[in-house]
A and B are shown apart, each in its own frame.
Chain A
Amino acid sequence: MNILVCIKQVPDMESRFKANGEGVWYEETDLAFRMNEYDEYAVEQAVKLKEQLGDAPEVTVLSIGPDRVVEAIKKALAMGCDRALHVRDPAVHLKDPWQIASIISGYARDKGFDLIFTGMQSQDRGSAQVGVTVAEQLGYACVTTLVGFSYADGAITARRELEGGVKGVVRMKTPALLTCQLGLNVPRYPTLPNIMKAKKKEIVTVPVADLLKEEPLAATTGFYPPAKKGGGIVLEGDVADMADRLVGILKDKTAVLR
């Protein structure tokens, strides 16, 4: 079995964002980057399946982006992926989801992957399109918002999350692509020995131009903070003091405290 996991590196969402010079994405200086949360579940699921099948599958992790994304790739290798492809693209933020998907399917088309795992969306762009589009481009069966997965004899039973806690249960054969949702599993922390082992694993780098053959279908024309609604009271400073003031406000404005 041959498995591909696609990961993205994103900024820590607790960061303060401001527009870059082009005004179409965030300024990267001062941001701390990490693996997209949804993708951690994808990596974990691939590694789990590898363990289930007695280590026979080969798990390739792929990430598109500038040199910094190698950090996320190394984490995936330390979690148990076998090898990596870094599609080097310093201007990845200017690609639309169609192009990102085309880069991935351009790579995957002749590799015979039985399963492809991606996150259901990225935390920064949040388009929730890349995985599904890759599946469409490759003609793979596809399930989004995966919260349960089992595999036996080439058949997958998957649970996908719908609204209000309802799940939909589906079955399909490989080749298939699954986009992973929060809570699918518990992503492991790489252990020190595994981090050391990962250092020996191969990371192949290819320039994005080798794989990208598509023009964008959409462009970002602006990047800005939401208009502040305002009106709310903001309290800062001494904790005891704020607690006093809040009790006063709650007594005044709500029927909860008497």
Chain B
Amino acid sequence: MKALLICEYREGKLLDSSYELLAFAGKLGADSAMVLIGDAVNVPRYGGTVYLADAAGYGEYNPDLHKQLVLAAVAQENPDYIVFQHSSYGWDLAPRVAAKLKVAQISEVIGINDDGFEVGCCNAKMRRTVKPAGAKAVLTVQAGAFSVQGEPQGTPNVEKLEIAGTGSVEFVGYEPAEAKGIDLGKAEVIVSAGRGVGKKDNVPVIAALAKALGGELGASRPVVDAGWVEHSHQVGTTGQTVSPKLYVACGISGAIQHLAGMKKSDFVVAINKDKDAPIGDVADVLIVADVMQFVPALTAKLQK
């Protein structure tokens, strides 16, 4: 069995998370080769073939060209599985490659079982097993689901990838993350407000608990999108990654993108009226309650 692993490269660097694809290939028991649209200086240590295309020529994000480069590597390698990370790069490119090959694409794989690939669904509350109909498939794997077993060794056999063409989407540039605001990275206690707090007027109640615990206010994405809390407080994939001693999730369901930002917390308390909310899986203590009843009661106790 052969897997073609599509690595990610951004602003001059190979993303470390690319190695998770190797861990996944290991789990599959597949021989692997890599595709890297990057530069020859940053080719990783690795004992197989690296199909290398020059990012300077093709652009770091040019979906039409990247699709053709991946397809060119597929034609040479004839893999059973073409594997991306489930990232802004992977979920953009994987369906394009799958559509051209007319093979199944399975998104956000978190496990492998006898019947196929395991994926999350229903906002992480449930799982599905999905099986490709044909022999080939394109997969995206969830970040962190397959952990890296140390850095790979060896010197790759580098094969140049070249294609001719232009893309229909022109890349203009990157906009950096907003730098202003608070740095939650160093906070020892974070109390985060989720959509379950109900409305903007309720946010001060959560902030009061944060204060009583000597910590900072965090937030999930919908709370930020709705303008209840400023973006610099957002925890998650597209917010900050935090590792406090205590993380209190108030009315947060525990979607994968939120967990990605807070799962390194030492101790997690979740307050949720839904006993089945996925946050319960990472919580050391799950309080099944209405957040607007429980939080003021807790704050009052702490202030005594």
Contact = CB atoms under 8 A, between A and B. Distances in A.
Interface of A: 11, 13-14, 16-17, 24, 26, 96-98, 101, 120, 123-129, 132-133, 136-137, 140-145, 157, 159-173, 176, 182-183, 186, 215-226, 228-229, 231-236, 239-240, 242-244, 246-247, 249-250, 253-257
A128 B170 CA distance: 22
B164 interface: no
Contact of B289 (A98, A218, A233, A242): A242
B133 A17 contact: no
B120 A126 contact: yes
A182 B255 CA distance: 14
Nearest to B300: A243
B284 A132 contact: no
12 contacts: A98-B99, A126-B119, A136-B96, A136-B100, A165-B176, A165-B238, A169-B171, A170-B169, A226-B126, A232-B280, A233-B284, A254-B266
A222 B175 contact: no
Interface of B: 10, 61, 63, 86-89, 91-92, 94-96, 98-100, 102-108, 115-116, 119-134, 137, 168-178, 188-189, 213-214, 221-222, 224-226, 231, 237-239, 245-246, 253, 266-267, 269, 274-276, 278, 280-289, 293-294, 297-298, 300-302
Contacts of B294: 239, 242-243
Contacts of A13: 122-123, 125, 253
A230 to B, nearest CB: 9
A223 B237 contact: no
B213 A234 contact: no
Contacts of A11: 122
A228 to B, nearest CB: 7
Contacts of B95: 97, 128-129, 132-133, 136
B122 A17 contact: yes
A218 B284 contact: no
B123 to A, nearest CB: 4
Contacts of A242: 287, 289, 294, 297
B99 A133 contact: yes
Contacts of B178: 165
B175 A246 contact: no
Contacts of B301: 243-244, 247
A256 B115 contact: no
Nearest to B117: A218
Given A143-B169, A183-B221, A232-B286, A164 B177 contact: yes
Contacts of A169: 171-175
A246 B285 contact: yes
Given A218-B130, A226-B127, A234 B102 contact: no
A163 B176 contact: no
B177 A165 contact: yes
Nearest to A222: B129
B285 A233 contact: yes
A223 B181 CA distance: 42
Given A145-B88, A166-B176, A253-B267, A235 B287 contact: yes
A218 B104 contact: yes
Given A164-B238, A168-B174, A183-B225, 18 more contacts: A13-B125, A17-B122, A97-B105, A98-B105, A127-B105, A129-B95, A141-B169, A157-B172, A169-B175, A182-B222, A186-B226, A218-B137, A222-B127, A225-B276, A234-B286, A254-B267, A255-B245, A256-B246
B251 to A, nearest CB: 11
A186 B228 CA distance: 13
Given A126-B121, A136-B100, A223-B127, A165 B239 contact: yes
Nearest to A240: B297
B200 to A, nearest CB: 13
B172 A233 contact: no
Contacts of B246: 250, 254, 256
A172 B63 CA distance: 12
Most buried by A among B95, B170, B276, B283: B95
Given A168-B61, A235-B285, A221 B129 contact: yes
B174 A215 contact: no
Contact of A126 (B61, B108, B188, B226): B108
Contact of B168 (A97, A172, A223, A255): A172
Contacts of A236: 275, 288-289
A19 to B, nearest CB: 8
Contacts of B116: 221-222
Contacts of A219: 130-131, 133
A101 to B, nearest CB: 8
A250 B108 CA distance: 35
B170 A172 contact: yes
B171 A168 contact: yes
A160 B169 CA distance: 12
Contact of B131 (A120, A137, A176, A218): A218
B128 A222 contact: yes
B192 to A, nearest CB: 15
Nearest to A247: B301
Contacts of B120: 126, 226
